[in-house]
Amino acid sequence: MDNTSLSKVIELKQVSYTWAGNHSPTLAIEHLSVHRGEHLFIKGPSGCGKSTLLGLLTGINQAQSGIVEVLGKDLNQLNSRQRDRFRADNIGYIFQQFNLLPYLTVVENVLLPCQFSRQRRETADLEQSARQLLRKLHLNDQLLDKPVVELSIGQQQRVAAARALIGNPPLIIADEPTSSLDHENRAAFIQLLLDQVNQANATLMFVSHDPTLEPLFDRSLDLRQINQAETLL
Protein backbone atom coordinates (compact mmCIF):
# COMPACT_ATOMS: atom_id res chain seq x y z
CA MET A 1 0.00 0.00 0.00
CA ASP A 2 1.37 3.45 -0.86
CA ASN A 3 1.36 6.48 1.42
CA THR A 4 -1.72 8.12 -0.03
CA SER A 5 -3.88 5.08 0.54
CA LEU A 6 -2.45 4.70 4.05
CA SER A 7 -3.23 8.28 5.06
CA LYS A 8 -6.89 7.85 4.16
CA VAL A 9 -8.50 4.95 5.90
CA ILE A 10 -11.93 5.59 4.43
CA GLU A 11 -12.93 7.28 1.23
CA LEU A 12 -16.51 7.32 -0.04
CA LYS A 13 -17.41 8.93 -3.36
CA GLN A 14 -20.90 9.39 -4.71
CA VAL A 15 -22.17 6.44 -2.80
CA SER A 16 -25.77 5.39 -2.91
CA TYR A 17 -27.31 2.57 -0.94
CA THR A 18 -30.91 1.34 -1.15
CA TRP A 19 -32.23 -1.50 1.02
CA ALA A 20 -33.83 -4.33 -0.94
CA GLY A 21 -37.54 -3.65 -1.35
CA ASN A 22 -37.19 0.10 -0.80
CA HIS A 23 -37.99 2.62 -3.52
CA SER A 24 -35.58 5.30 -2.41
CA PRO A 25 -32.04 5.22 -1.08
CA THR A 26 -31.28 5.26 2.63
CA LEU A 27 -27.87 6.77 1.95
CA ALA A 28 -26.67 9.15 -0.73
CA ILE A 29 -23.24 10.45 0.20
CA GLU A 30 -21.26 12.66 -2.12
CA HIS A 31 -18.01 12.39 -0.23
CA LEU A 32 -16.61 11.24 3.09
CA SER A 33 -13.00 10.66 4.00
CA VAL A 34 -11.45 9.63 7.28
CA HIS A 35 -7.74 9.89 7.94
CA ARG A 36 -5.54 7.38 9.60
CA GLY A 37 -5.57 7.70 13.37
CA GLU A 38 -8.69 9.86 13.48
CA HIS A 39 -11.29 9.36 16.18
CA LEU A 40 -14.54 10.18 14.47
CA PHE A 41 -17.87 10.61 16.24
CA ILE A 42 -20.89 9.96 14.02
CA LYS A 43 -24.24 11.16 15.26
CA GLY A 44 -27.78 11.48 14.02
CA PRO A 45 -31.24 10.43 15.14
CA SER A 46 -32.39 6.86 15.16
CA GLY A 47 -33.21 5.63 11.67
CA CYS A 48 -31.01 8.17 9.83
CA GLY A 49 -28.75 5.45 8.43
CA LYS A 50 -25.81 5.25 10.84
CA SER A 51 -25.77 1.45 11.03
CA THR A 52 -26.37 1.22 7.30
CA LEU A 53 -23.25 3.34 6.75
CA LEU A 54 -21.19 1.09 9.03
CA GLY A 55 -22.47 -1.89 7.05
CA LEU A 56 -21.05 -0.30 3.91
CA LEU A 57 -17.66 0.20 5.53
CA THR A 58 -17.45 -3.42 6.65
CA GLY A 59 -18.63 -4.74 3.29
CA ILE A 60 -21.75 -6.29 4.81
CA ASN A 61 -23.93 -3.91 2.77
CA GLN A 62 -22.87 -3.25 -0.81
CA ALA A 63 -23.43 0.16 -2.37
CA GLN A 64 -25.40 0.06 -5.63
CA SER A 65 -23.28 2.90 -6.96
CA GLY A 66 -20.20 4.87 -6.04
CA ILE A 67 -16.87 4.00 -4.53
CA VAL A 68 -16.36 2.65 -1.02
CA GLU A 69 -12.66 2.50 -0.29
CA VAL A 70 -11.45 1.16 3.03
CA LEU A 71 -7.71 1.00 3.79
CA GLY A 72 -7.01 1.57 0.12
CA LYS A 73 -9.23 -1.29 -1.05
CA ASP A 74 -12.30 -0.70 -3.21
CA LEU A 75 -14.78 -3.02 -1.51
CA ASN A 76 -16.98 -3.28 -4.59
CA GLN A 77 -14.10 -4.95 -6.41
CA LEU A 78 -13.95 -7.80 -3.88
CA ASN A 79 -16.12 -10.90 -3.97
CA SER A 80 -18.03 -11.84 -0.86
CA ARG A 81 -15.33 -14.22 0.37
CA GLN A 82 -12.68 -11.55 -0.06
CA ARG A 83 -14.86 -9.05 1.77
CA ASP A 84 -15.28 -11.48 4.69
CA ARG A 85 -11.53 -11.98 4.83
CA PHE A 86 -10.86 -8.24 4.58
CA ARG A 87 -13.28 -7.56 7.44
CA ALA A 88 -11.82 -10.28 9.68
CA ASP A 89 -8.27 -9.08 9.08
CA ASN A 90 -8.74 -5.33 9.31
CA ILE A 91 -11.80 -4.34 11.29
CA GLY A 92 -12.53 -4.67 14.97
CA TYR A 93 -16.26 -4.23 15.57
CA ILE A 94 -18.02 -3.35 18.81
CA PHE A 95 -21.76 -3.98 18.74
CA GLN A 96 -24.52 -2.27 20.66
CA GLN A 97 -25.57 -5.60 22.17
CA PHE A 98 -21.94 -6.75 22.55
CA ASN A 99 -22.61 -10.12 20.78
CA LEU A 100 -20.41 -12.02 23.23
CA LEU A 101 -20.78 -15.80 23.42
CA PRO A 102 -22.29 -16.26 26.89
CA TYR A 103 -20.77 -19.57 27.95
CA LEU A 104 -17.25 -18.89 26.75
CA THR A 105 -14.88 -17.30 29.20
CA VAL A 106 -13.78 -13.70 28.97
CA VAL A 107 -10.43 -14.64 27.40
CA GLU A 108 -12.07 -17.09 24.98
CA ASN A 109 -14.44 -14.37 23.80
CA VAL A 110 -11.57 -11.97 23.22
CA LEU A 111 -9.65 -14.54 21.18
CA LEU A 112 -12.57 -15.34 18.85
CA PRO A 113 -11.71 -12.95 15.99
CA CYS A 114 -8.24 -14.51 15.74
CA GLN A 115 -9.84 -17.77 14.61
CA PHE A 116 -11.07 -16.04 11.48
CA SER A 117 -7.91 -14.13 10.66
CA ARG A 118 -4.38 -15.37 10.26
CA GLN A 119 -3.22 -11.76 10.28
CA ARG A 120 -4.77 -11.16 13.69
CA ARG A 121 -3.21 -14.24 15.24
CA GLU A 122 0.32 -13.34 14.27
CA THR A 123 1.06 -11.92 17.74
CA ALA A 124 3.54 -14.20 19.49
CA ASP A 125 1.58 -15.08 22.60
CA LEU A 126 -2.00 -14.31 21.76
CA GLU A 127 -3.53 -15.40 25.05
CA GLN A 128 -1.00 -13.32 26.96
CA SER A 129 -1.80 -10.35 24.81
CA ALA A 130 -5.55 -10.86 25.40
CA ARG A 131 -4.97 -10.86 29.16
CA GLN A 132 -2.82 -7.77 28.94
CA LEU A 133 -5.42 -5.93 26.90
CA LEU A 134 -8.16 -6.88 29.37
CA ARG A 135 -6.04 -5.60 32.24
CA LYS A 136 -5.52 -2.32 30.44
CA LEU A 137 -9.29 -2.09 30.12
CA HIS A 138 -9.46 -2.44 33.92
CA LEU A 139 -10.73 -6.01 34.13
CA ASN A 140 -9.19 -7.88 37.07
CA ASP A 141 -7.28 -11.12 36.60
CA GLN A 142 -9.82 -13.11 38.61
CA LEU A 143 -12.54 -12.27 36.07
CA LEU A 144 -10.69 -13.41 32.99
CA ASP A 145 -11.44 -17.15 33.14
CA LYS A 146 -15.08 -16.76 34.13
CA PRO A 147 -17.96 -17.26 31.72
CA VAL A 148 -18.67 -13.82 30.34
CA VAL A 149 -22.31 -13.92 31.58
CA GLU A 150 -21.02 -13.59 35.15
CA LEU A 151 -19.76 -10.10 34.46
CA SER A 152 -21.67 -6.83 34.78
CA ILE A 153 -22.88 -5.01 31.68
CA GLY A 154 -20.09 -2.45 31.95
CA GLN A 155 -17.48 -5.21 32.27
CA GLN A 156 -18.97 -7.10 29.32
CA GLN A 157 -18.71 -4.01 27.18
CA ARG A 158 -14.99 -3.79 27.97
CA VAL A 159 -14.62 -7.46 26.96
CA ALA A 160 -16.31 -6.55 23.66
CA ALA A 161 -13.79 -3.72 23.24
CA ALA A 162 -10.87 -6.08 23.88
CA ARG A 163 -12.28 -8.48 21.29
CA ALA A 164 -12.35 -5.67 18.74
CA LEU A 165 -8.78 -4.62 19.57
CA ILE A 166 -7.08 -8.05 19.68
CA GLY A 167 -4.51 -8.54 16.94
CA ASN A 168 -4.35 -4.77 16.28
CA PRO A 169 -6.79 -4.28 13.40
CA PRO A 170 -6.18 -0.84 11.85
CA LEU A 171 -9.86 0.15 11.92
CA ILE A 172 -12.16 -0.02 14.94
CA ILE A 173 -15.86 0.49 14.39
CA ALA A 174 -18.32 0.87 17.25
CA ASP A 175 -22.09 1.03 16.76
CA GLU A 176 -23.73 2.70 19.76
CA PRO A 177 -21.55 0.68 22.14
CA THR A 178 -22.44 2.76 25.18
CA SER A 179 -26.21 2.81 24.95
CA SER A 180 -26.65 0.19 27.66
CA LEU A 181 -24.19 1.88 30.03
CA ASP A 182 -25.17 4.59 32.48
CA HIS A 183 -23.81 8.02 31.86
CA GLU A 184 -20.81 7.89 34.17
CA ASN A 185 -19.68 4.59 32.71
CA ARG A 186 -20.01 5.86 29.16
CA ALA A 187 -17.29 8.46 29.38
CA ALA A 188 -15.02 6.09 31.33
CA PHE A 189 -15.51 3.38 28.72
CA ILE A 190 -14.72 5.76 25.86
CA GLN A 191 -11.59 7.00 27.60
CA LEU A 192 -10.29 3.44 27.99
CA LEU A 193 -11.20 2.64 24.40
CA LEU A 194 -9.49 5.79 23.08
CA ASP A 195 -6.31 5.01 25.03
CA GLN A 196 -6.08 1.57 23.46
CA VAL A 197 -7.00 2.80 19.99
CA ASN A 198 -4.20 5.38 20.30
CA GLN A 199 -1.67 2.83 21.49
CA ALA A 200 -2.51 0.62 18.52
CA ASN A 201 -2.35 3.61 16.17
CA ALA A 202 -5.78 2.61 14.89
CA THR A 203 -8.64 4.65 13.46
CA LEU A 204 -11.94 4.79 15.32
CA MET A 205 -15.43 5.30 13.88
CA PHE A 206 -17.79 5.66 16.80
CA VAL A 207 -21.53 5.91 16.29
CA SER A 208 -23.78 7.28 18.99
CA HIS A 209 -26.91 9.34 19.36
CA ASP A 210 -25.66 10.74 22.68
CA PRO A 211 -24.29 14.23 21.90
CA THR A 212 -22.65 14.60 25.32
CA LEU A 213 -19.94 12.15 24.22
CA GLU A 214 -18.97 14.28 21.25
CA PRO A 215 -16.24 16.39 22.93
CA LEU A 216 -14.17 13.26 23.59
CA PHE A 217 -13.49 12.82 19.85
CA ASP A 218 -11.24 14.55 17.27
CA ARG A 219 -14.08 15.22 14.86
CA SER A 220 -17.80 14.91 14.85
CA LEU A 221 -20.10 14.32 11.95
CA ASP A 222 -23.86 14.55 11.81
CA LEU A 223 -24.85 11.98 9.22
CA ARG A 224 -27.71 14.21 8.09
CA GLN A 225 -25.17 16.79 6.94
CA ILE A 226 -23.55 14.47 4.42
CA ASN A 227 -26.51 12.28 3.54
CA GLN A 228 -28.56 13.72 0.70
CA ALA A 229 -30.88 10.73 0.51
CA GLU A 230 -33.95 12.60 1.69
CA THR A 231 -33.57 15.23 -0.98
CA LEU A 232 -33.67 12.48 -3.61
CA LEU A 233 -37.09 11.22 -2.59
Binding stretches for Mg ion (CB under 5 A)? 50-51
Shortest reach from residue 83's CB to ligand ADP, in Å: 17
Q: Under 8 Å CB-to-CB from 191, ≥6 apart: which residues?
A: 216
Q: Where are the alpha helices (DSSP H) in the chain?
A: 3-7, 50-57, 80-90, 106-115, 126-136, 153-165, 183-199, 223-226
Shortest reach from residue 226's CB to ligand ADP, in Å: 13
CA-based torsion, 71, 77, 81, 82: positive or negative = negative
If the CB atoms of residues 48 and 107 are measured against ligand ADP, the closer one turns out to be 48
- In the bound state, the residue with its beta carbon closest to Mg ion is 51
Q: Is 49 in the site for ligand ADP (CB under 6 A)?
A: yes
Smallest distance from Mg ion to CB 177, Å: 11
Contact 188, 118 (CB under 8 A): no
Q: Is 52 in the site for ligand ADP (CB under 6 A)?
A: yes
Q: In the stretch 25-44, what mask flags binding to ligand ADP with x, by CB under 6 A?
A: -x-----------------x
Least CB distance from residue 51 to Mg ion, whole Å? 3
Q: Is 51 in the site for ligand ADP (CB under 6 A)?
A: yes
CB crowding 12-32: b at 16 or more within 10 Å, else e: beebbbbeeeeeebbbbbeeb
Structure letter (DSSP) for residue 147: B
Q: Dihedral through CA 22, CA 27, CA 30, CA 35, nearest 10?
A: -150
48 touching ligand ADP, by CB under 6 A: yes
What's the min distance (Å) between Cβ of 70 and ligand ADP? Answer: 18
Q: Is 46 in the site for ligand ADP (CB under 6 A)?
A: yes
Residues found near ligand ADP in the complex (CB under 6 A): 19, 26, 44, 46-52
